[in-house]
Structure 1
């Protein structure tokens, strides 16, 4: 059996980000808004918060755990702090679900004001590559690894059941320095390899987060050939970043968005899955609890899962405060297991629950843990039916 495959039960995990505790949030807000704070206090609170986060994951039934991404307050902040060669551009326009926003302008005007971005300390500031890329995140990564390993040991979790998320090369800012997009992505991949390798060398799993791959297929102005070439470029760069790392130590995650909304302008899993399976990873996670995509399990009636690989479909969603019933979670898992094999299905979430730490989360922090408990119960029901009764 592969490292990530099931042996006698359905394993449970999630995608990474979790709501930060208030004392950690207060210190992060002070740091990133330029107010006075004590760095040693932030370090102490971060270590304590990660320990509590891992303990709560285990208590809620999560088997493959992480640090909640507590040291990374947001995607663009993480990039700026760990790479030379980028600068922030607060006025740079993001192509985030532009068709969706155009189709529902009134909804999204209220949403951006009151929901995800309501009460934000900092505006979302995209990054632009303006010089040679160089990884400089060694110290921060060393801290992340030390914190999560200590927390996992205290909770009785072995290192190989701990993962740390890291960004994929795709979507990391805009390029104004390298001559071509291919050159840019491969330069970024070479530097990301340093982070990926350090995580794996520490005995952990690395999770590569690529929410931008599906966006290619709904991007305005691209014909089919351009979409195909860009998707291939993303995969090539990701595999270059994974050079020298065994696939069984890699988790690959993709999704469609982090928000609650109509979500009608999203690509289908059928458009994306062929590229996903080209990534040198041992498991693949994607949205499957989102009601815009739940039906797509039927795709695996025609698409064959590569040998030894694991699907990690979302069986709880990050965009609704409704706690999924364990019977429904079990049903979702059994559907996939009947198509790809019970050893090849892991229970997961659609996406992270707090991808932007300094913004209000979609799902209340108290509800997240109830969703995890429901996922554990649903996985147990599925296990009973797939192993015991089968």
Structure 2
């Protein structure tokens, strides 16, 4: 897939959609009315990307309350907010603790996680399209999940089976590009988090090997689909979770079967481009150089210079450009305006055309 500009997935939710979600949850509007407003928001998200000139289009994740919303909505067995609370922070010292899901019962398939998103998107726009699918690997807790699954391995066996079923359904419906969002890898690149894991008796490198094996099992023998892996360091209301370069998890590049790696590179917290030397030369690396956390607009010259720096470690023709993460991994969105978002998307497309034609 020779594509040089794309978004990561989510876009800012319009105010009317946020209000409609509140109203449907309190019974003030019907599910049918809410669905029509979701459709309107998706149409607008598609139009925004088309006008900007982005090559690969998503639905903006408008139908999700968060990037993992499709997981907890479609599968039985999760407590949507009963998991570990992640400390989300910023460079100014601000912090809050974000709730995460946790499995508390055996997972059961209620409906497809992404079929509705894909079918609607496919009907609205021709050309390169993408569906984002969250990894369920992080949502096991040894205490809270043990009654449902006596071991993490038992949980992962069901995760792989369900994820493969989802991919097969998307393939049947004509989807040819699936991005897996894998927040669990972020904890394995941060030196402080790695040390904390060891204190809890968890070997970060063994965890990495297990997660790689799980992801490979999900995408193995699924012909006709390009699989992308998105690895960022947390993204919730302009705050992050982890810091550090990709070197501690470089085995992900060498050992997984993903064809595209969508990586966060928008600030010094992300480290240098040296780990790109570990990426096989038949893959693509999508450089997340444009921040979705800050309203300040990067310049085309800055982005071109950064791309040139990355090309010292990986072939230029196998590189691409994107924002560093979604603009709204949760429905609250990051601290920038729709106008800021539009300018950043246009810049991504503009620089991609300048660099790659």
Residue deviations 1:266-320 (CA, integer Å, cap 9, x gap): 2321112222442221100111112322x511333xx242142100010201211
Query: Gapped runs of 5+ residues in structure 2?
Result: none
Change (3 A) 1:40 1:292: same
SS in structure 1 of the partner of residue 255 of structure 2: coil
Structure 2 residue corresponding to 1:168, chosen from 113, 132, 135? 135
Structure 2 CA distance for aligned equivalents of residues 271 and 311 of structure 1: 18
CA contact (8 A) 2:327 2:333 kept: no
Structure 2 CA distance for aligned equivalents of residues 170 and 71 of structure 1: 22
Residue deviations 1:336-364 (CA, integer Å, cap 9, x gap): 3343223211111111110111x242222
Residue of structure 1 equivalent to 2:2: 5
Residue deviations 1:132-171 (CA, integer Å, cap 9, x gap): 2122232x63321221112213xxxx2xx10010011321
CA contact (8 A) 2:228 2:259 kept: yes
Query: Does 2:43 correspond to 1:51?
Result: yes
Structure 2 CA distance for aligned equivalents of residues 208 and 184 of structure 1: 18
Structure 2 CA distance for aligned equivalents of residues 258 and 199 of structure 1: 26
Residue of structure 2 equivalent to 1:120: none
Structure 2 residue corresponding to 1:309, chosen from 283, 287, 296? 283
Greater helix fraction, Structure 1 or Structure 2: 1
Structure 2 CA distance for aligned equivalents of residues 19 and 86 of structure 1: 26
Change (3 A) 1:69 1:262: closer
Residue of structure 2 equivalent to 1:85: 77
Residue of structure 1 equivalent to 2:210: 233
Change (3 A) 1:248 1:360: closer
Structure 2 CA distance for aligned equivalents of residues 211 and 93 of structure 1: 14
Q: Which moved more, 1:252-261 or 1:203-212?
A: 252-261
Change (3 A) 1:14 1:262: closer
Runs of 4+ off more than 6 Å? 260-264
Residue of structure 1 equivalent to 2:85: 94
Structure with bigger RCO (C-alpha 8 Å, 6+ apart): 1
Structure 2 residue corresponding to 1:322, chosen from 260, 277, 296? 296
Between Structure 1 and Structure 2, how many residues are aligned? Answer: 347
Shift in Å at residue 61 of structure 1?
A: 1.5
Structure 1 CA distance for aligned equivalents of residues 28 and 19 of structure 2: 11
Change (3 A) 1:49 1:265: closer
Query: Gapped runs of 5+ residues in structure 1?
Result: 118-123, 385-390
Residue of structure 2 equivalent to 1:334: 308
CA contact (8 A) 1:283 1:309 kept: yes
Query: Does 2:335 correspond to 1:344?
Result: no
SS in structure 2 of the partner of residue 296 of structure 1: coil
Q: TM-score, normalised by structure 1?
A: 0.81
